[in-house]
């Protein structure tokens, strides 16, 4: 690892390159924590992967800037240009790269760090419980409709009024001509 010499013009690029892949490793370890939340954090898990890609590109730009040995006046200039391009791309894709909110989308209550970083819904606990209750009620309504029972208690399947006994004809009787 070369010493950081302010006269080389690569001071910042050298410092970033000396970090090696540790910033990337930190982001990827945090990404592994998303497995605990399953499907509740898939969107934000992808966002952390996009962030890891941005970190990788920045560290790669630092290494390239150092390895090409730009002149002492322009070394960090090219590195900063690459960082600006990466940051502008992140800003243009901010809905995918930075989907985090500090407040609930329903009631503007402050969110805890777990919800901010790991849960896609951006809902506080009370709003999340209300949303889950609404989904459960909808699922129960669909379940009742799929069994054919309506709210009035009538059943819509054939032979419902007689429990399958009564005015049905035997298919064998029709073949005999009876």
Neighbours of 156 (CB within 10 A): 10
User: For the chain, which residues score pLDDT lower than 50?
Assistant: 152-157, 159-164, 166-167, 178
**The pLDDT of residue 13:** 82
> What percent of the chain is modeled with pLDDT above 70?
71
**The pLDDT of residue 157:** 45
The two three-digit tokens of residue 162, written as one number: 């007689």
Give, for 38, the enclosing helix (H) or strand (E): none
Taking alpha carbons only, the member of 3, 1, 9 closest to residue 78 is 9
First to last CA, the chain: 101
Angle at 126 between CA 125 and CA 127, to 5 degrees: 95
Distance CA 87, CA 81 (A): 10
Ramachandran assignment for 4, one of left (phi > 0), alpha (psi -120 to 50 degrees), beta (any other): beta
The two three-digit tokens of residue 140, written as one number: 């129960």
Distance CA 53, CA 7 (A): 31
**The pLDDT of residue 7:** 52
**The pLDDT of residue 55:** 92
The two three-digit tokens of residue 11, written as one number: 């001071």
What does the domain layout of the chain look like in residue ranges? 1-99, 102-147
Place of tokens 């970190």: 55
Question: CB within 8 A of 42, min separation 6: which ones?
Answer: 34, 120
The two three-digit tokens of residue 18, written as one number: 């000396």
Taking alpha carbons only, the member of 79, 88, 84, 30 closest to residue 59 is 79
The two three-digit tokens of residue 53, written as one number: 């890609």
Task: Identify the three-state secondary structure at position 110.
Answer: strand
**The pLDDT of residue 178:** 47
């Amino acid at each position: 690892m070369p010493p950081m010499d302010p006269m080389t013009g690569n001071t910042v690029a050298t410092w970033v390159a000396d970090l090696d892949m540790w910033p990337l490793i930190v982001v990827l370890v945090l990404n592994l924590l998303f497995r605990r939340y399953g499907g509740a954090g898939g969107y934000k898990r992808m966002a952390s992967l996009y962030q890891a890609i941005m970190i990788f590109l920045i560290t790669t730009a630092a290494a390239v800037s150092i390895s090409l040995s730009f002149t002492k006046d322009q070394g960090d200039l090219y590195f900063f240009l690459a960082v600006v391009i990466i940051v502008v791309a992140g800003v243009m894709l901010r809905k995918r790269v930075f989907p985090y909110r500090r407040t609930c989308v329903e009631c503007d209550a402050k969110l805890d760090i777990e919800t901010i970083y790991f849960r896609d819904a951006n809902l506080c606990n009370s709003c999340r419980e209300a949303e889950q209750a609404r989904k459960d009620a909808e699922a129960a309504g669909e379940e009742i409709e799929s069994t054919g029972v309506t709210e009035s208690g009538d059943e819509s399947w054939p032979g419902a009024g007689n429990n399958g006994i009564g005015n049905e004809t035997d298919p064998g009787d029709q073949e005999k001509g009876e």
